[in-house]
Amino acid sequence: MATIDHEARRIYAKIVYWGPPAAGKWSNLDDVHRRTSPPDRPRAAKETSVGFPLALGELRGYAIVFALLR
pLDDT in tens, 31-48: 888 888 676 666 666 655
Neighbour-count burial of 61, counting CB atoms closer than 10 A to its CB (0-12 exposed, 13-18 middle, 19+ buried): exposed
What pLDDT is attached to residue 53?
A: 81
Are 3 and 13 spatial neighbours (Cβ–Cβ below 8 Å)? yes
Residue 67 pLDDT > 60: yes
pLDDT of 24 above 80: yes
Distance from the Cα of residue 3 to its chain's centroid: 15
Structural contact between residues 9 and 61, judged by C-beta atoms closer than 8 angstroms: yes
Within 10 angstroms of residue 20's Cβ, the number of other Cβ atoms is 6
- pTM score: 0.67
